[in-house]
Structure 1
Amino acid sequence: MAEKMMQFVTIGQNYPDKRTAEERKKDFNEIYARFTIEKAQEQASRCEQCGIPYCSVACPVNNNIPDWLRLVAAGRLEDAYHTSQETNTLPEICGRICPQDRLCEGLCVLEQSDHNAVTIGAIEKFITDNAWEQGWVKPPQPLKELGQSVGIIGAGPAGMAAADRLRRKGYEVHVYDRHDRVGGLMVYGIPGFKLEKDVVERRAKLLEDGGVTFHMNFEVGRDASLKELRAKHNAVLIAVGVYAGRKLEAPGADLENIFPAMYFLTASNKKGFGDEVEAFDNGTLNAEGKNVVVIGGGDTAMDCVRTSVRQGAKSVTCLYRRDRANMPGSQREVENAEKEGVNFQWLSAPKSFKGLGKVQKVEAVSMHLGFADASGRQSVKEVPGSEFELDADIVIEALGFEPEDIPTLFGEPDLAVSRWGTVDVNKETWMSNLDGVFAAGDIERGASLVVSCIKDARDASDAIHKYLRTQARASAAE
């Protein structure tokens, strides 16, 4: 197989075809095509097979990337799939939504040596989509049933990843979620042009086929307390994510039509499913014909601006207080948004909101970058006298997410949380201060990437397995 690799000298970097901006603005379908087998093999063969695979180091789940690239190049596609899914429960999703330019591809040695990175994300997507078509993706099938059960609160990426891993180990797994569909932010937060929803639904059905039981429209604290779930299961994993959007503290911030990002994105995604959404249907959350201002520079902000374009907004402006080089979101998403007609106001921040009942104007001010602080990030300061106004019919706050008050929500005031409101766990055991109660994903680490949630869920599941095996041995010895 070695002769098939290191072809970067003669083969250039190539991504799957991408629909034109004018075409893709008209719908919420994914914008990238899929590699053909030949093109996937060709691009995989560019891999240098480094002695130290920085791509794997940069990947939160430490995917065996060089291995499955070599297998793809050799035409061993089923082996490539099995190698890929060994470390990642949701590879077809990560291949679509991971910011590869900041992770695996960003640290690819070829990227650092001006040969351009191997197109790892597109190949990962190809591997698993092809595996689904070939029937190689199977439901979790434990070797034996262990006679213990685990309750998982949250059916998002961490909950799904943990459900898969624990079911494969032989546990009875029940997943509880307050929404009506499995997937969490992958269903209601991330737009279809990045992740079509049938991809998530397909994975959810696979878990069900493997014996995972989902309890949807189930709200812990309303339908059952955490204490009651602890009594029902041998262990409980909290994997609810963080959904409370940070709010701006500025004059006029209480005007109508200023919305948190998840409120806006959830309404749009629900309409994509064909649901009735009153706030969208009456025009409140529909950007059509309106001037939209999105505040923030992360991937959620990019989701909001690009969703607004597809809804037919009159204008879409993104305000970000730092410059392009310092924004936390994917540069590919910025490029896509720019080509779709989004106006970026770099080094700009909102100062106040104006309007009669409803927002009509955003007063913004120019910023400049100062010296770096202790974290290494440059400070930002207002440029005196640089105020300017933007027309705004809708303002969307995409400033990041914070945890809800989980102890109160779950009816368990004794559950310990950090000063940020995340569930406090022992990082070696992943257990909270309550015996048998664990936490993983954003509710433990704070808002992060889907792939990081998968990694946390994998580690927490292994810790739960160790805990439950110890409990089982202790019971058997009595």
Structure 2
Amino acid sequence: MLRFVDIDQAYPGKRAETERRTDFLEIYQPVEIEKVTGQASRCSQCGVPFCQTGCPLQNNIPDWLMLAGTGRMQEAYEASAATSTMPEICGRICPQDRLCEGSCVVEKSGHGAVTIGAVEQFITDTAWDEGWVTPIVPGAPRGQSVGVIGSGPAGLAAAERLREAGCVVTVYERADRAGGLLMYGIPGFKLDKHVVQRRLDRLAAGGVEFKLNFEIGRDASLGALRSQHDAVLIATGVYAARQLVCPGAGEEVVQALDYLVRSNRDGLGDPKATDERLSAEGKDVIVIGGGDTAMDCVRTAIRQGARSVTCLYRRDRANMPGSAREVRHAEEEGVVFEWLSAPLAVLSHGADVTGVRVQRMRLGAPDASGRRMPEADSGKTVDLPANMVISALGFQPENLSEQFEAPELNLTEWGTIESDPDSSMTSLNGVFVAGDIQRGASLVVWAIRDGLDAARSIENYLDNRLAVLGAAE
């Protein structure tokens, strides 16, 4: 270990940009085990592992880096899986540059961060290949059931832990496939769908039941689910798009999630869409937004054969909320970024979009969070041509109190579900919440963390119920 002085930082090689632009395959090339062990051995094994504190899951990163660095891959996988239900997914899609790698002591020493995400992915992909990923072993039957609403990362993480605790677990998903945004929201070039599917298959083989095309509020009320289960977890995520507000921003503007879901369905072999608005082929595309969803959209448009792809963001590069690594990937693939630019109007001729009128911006005084606020740079506007405009301004909660026919389900002022900060229980007894619908739109790794925390709270709640029933008898 401690090889960071004589081994340089090296991420897995990427496929050529010209090749990447033509398909939706993951962009990184296979890596040899010797290179992985070398990169893992760069870990300084520091006394205070900031990488671990920078990880929402508090993963035992130095432990499994040490094991991987000495070639003990199976033990490294076991250490990695002890705190995460899907390490190979986090290794692919976490913004490590803002989390574990950004906190790495080796990075701060000027030697370049340990490539934690790439090692994490390799360890678990190897575990799948070698058969080290064992089936779920359900705990002793408790005679209690839990209904999980939503099959995204929070719901899946909770379902796994609750099944291991001996609960009967049923996951309710309104889409026709499980996986939530892992399946339909994240493009294949970042997360191949077989990686998600094998996790779903493992849960199903372990006894987790999935009810697909099942929408709470349409097929059953929340009250009906409460009567069927001893506890319920709401893990729906947040899917209502934040609307672009400017003249001309009507139905002609494509919503990011509609666009990404359609593209993922194409990749999964579903029947082709009849709505040509959802294809970027041959078009000049402008994507409005600066987060990871915007990066997914611009890179998808490139692969669909867009004539040009431009991203508008109202702040500068240094203040972009999306992963800096994703921005670099997008630039390599041909995306043009218009920094300090905000839409003034969507231009059209009849029913056809023709462009976006752009207001140039500058950064003013910091707001309450410390970020400098963008403000209009007076007199500086420009018209950019486009015949497809995608709005990627983020997501907000749906009104679940109304949708679930549960007016007693309390919501926060932001529309998320109100919950006890310690137990994640909502205003309804036995109903818990996890993921984005609890904290607001955030990262997959935080959703996993919330799902695991909620599972522990649900298990404690069910234990107390059993104790009360036992005392009554």
- Give the alignment's TM-score, normalised by structure 1: 0.97
> In 2, Cα distance between the equivalents of 1:277 and 1:227?
37
Match of 1:422 in 2: 416
Render the CA deviation track for 1:340-388: whole Å, top value 9, x for unaligned. Answer: 1101000000001111223211000100001111110101110111110
Render the CA deviation track for 1:128-179: whole Å, top value 9, x for unaligned. Answer: 0000011111222123111100000000100110000110111000000001
Q: Summarize the alignment of residues 276-287 of structure 1 with structure 2, pairs less than 5 Å apart.
A: 276-279=271-274, 282-287=275-280
Match of 1:268 in 2: 263
In structure 2, the residue corresponding to 1:214 is in which secondary structure?
strand
Matched, 1:67 2:63: yes
> In 1, Cα distance between the equivalents of 2:307 and 2:340?
23
> In 2, Cα distance between the equivalents of 1:467 and 1:452?
22
Match of 1:447 in 2: 441
Render the CA deviation track for 1:179-233: whole Å, top value 9, x for unaligned. Answer: 1111100111100000000000000000001000000110111111100000000
Q: Percent identity?
A: 57
> In 2, Cα distance between the equivalents of 1:318 and 1:401?
18
Contact 2:176–2:213, Cα closer than 8 Å, also in 1: yes
Matched, 1:340 2:352: no
In structure 2, the residue corresponding to 1:122 is in which secondary structure?
helix
> In 1, Cα distance between the equivalents of 2:393 and 2:446?
20
> In 1, Cα distance between the equivalents of 2:370 and 2:30?
39
Contact 1:35–1:123, Cα closer than 8 Å, also in 2: no
Tell me how large the CA RMSD over aligned residues is: 0.9
1:257 corresponds to which of 246, 252, 255: 252
In structure 2, the residue corresponding to 1:364 is in which secondary structure?
strand
Structure 1 portions without partners, runs of 5+: none
Matched, 1:85 2:78: no
Contact 2:254–2:277, Cα closer than 8 Å, also in 1: no
Contact 1:34–1:126, Cα closer than 8 Å, also in 2: no
2:121 corresponds to which of 125, 141, 150: 125
Match of 1:232 in 2: 228
CA drift at 1:437: 0.4
CA drift at 1:15: 1.0
Give runs of ≥4 in structure 1 deviating > 6 Å. none
In structure 1, the residue corresponding to 2:217 is in which secondary structure?
coil
CA drift at 1:401: 0.5
Matched, 1:328 2:315: no
> In 2, Cα distance between the equivalents of 1:139 and 1:247?
43
In structure 2, the residue corresponding to 1:182 is in which secondary structure?
coil
Contact 2:253–2:390, Cα closer than 8 Å, also in 1: yes
2:291 corresponds to which of 295, 298, 306: 298
Q: 1:438 to 1:244 in 2, by over 3 A?
A: same
> In 1, Cα distance between the equivalents of 2:352 and 2:223?
43
> In 1, Cα distance between the equivalents of 2:134 and 2:345?
54
Render the CA deviation track for 1:393-450: whole Å, top value 9, x for unaligned. Answer: 1111111100001011111111101011101000111100000000000000000000
Contact 1:238–1:440, Cα closer than 8 Å, also in 2: yes
2:385 corresponds to which of 381, 388, 391: 391
In structure 2, the residue corresponding to 1:383 is in which secondary structure?
strand
> In 2, Cα distance between the equivalents of 1:92 and 1:183?
15
Match of 1:209 in 2: 205
Contact 2:152–2:180, Cα closer than 8 Å, also in 1: yes
Structure 2 residue identity aligned to 1:409: Q
CA drift at 1:38: 1.2
In structure 1, the residue corresponding to 2:287 is in which secondary structure?
strand
Contact 1:257–1:393, Cα closer than 8 Å, also in 2: no
Match of 1:433 in 2: 427
1:185 corresponds to which of 181, 201, 216: 181
1:308 corresponds to which of 301, 307, 310: 301
> In 1, Cα distance between the equivalents of 2:363 and 2:190?
32
CA drift at 1:96: 0.2
Q: Summarize the alignment of residues 372-391 of structure 1 with structure 2, pairs less than 5 Å apart.
A: 372-391=366-385
Contact 1:34–1:122, Cα closer than 8 Å, also in 2: no
Structure 2 portions without partners, runs of 5+: none
> In 1, Cα distance between the equivalents of 2:21 and 2:352?
28
| Aligned length in residues | 471
Contact 1:350–1:363, Cα closer than 8 Å, also in 2: yes
Segment of structure 1 superposing worse, 354-363 or 412-421: 354-363
> In 2, Cα distance between the equivalents of 1:374 and 1:152?
37
Contact 2:173–2:212, Cα closer than 8 Å, also in 1: yes
Render the CA deviation track for 1:52-93: whole Å, top value 9, x for unaligned. Answer: 101000000010000000001122111111110111111010
Q: Summarize the alignment of residues 5-24 of structure 1 with structure 2, pairs less than 5 Å apart.
A: 5-24=1-20
1:49 corresponds to which of 45, 48, 68: 45
CA drift at 1:95: 0.3
In structure 2, the residue corresponding to 1:66 is in which secondary structure?
helix
Structure 2 residue identity aligned to 1:383: D
- Give the alignment's TM-score, normalised by structure 2: 0.98
Contact 1:309–1:340, Cα closer than 8 Å, also in 2: yes
Contact 1:242–1:403, Cα closer than 8 Å, also in 2: yes
Match of 1:460 in 2: 454
Contact 2:341–2:359, Cα closer than 8 Å, also in 1: yes
Q: Summarize the alignment of residues 102-251 of structure 1 with structure 2, pairs less than 5 Å apart.
A: 102-251=98-247
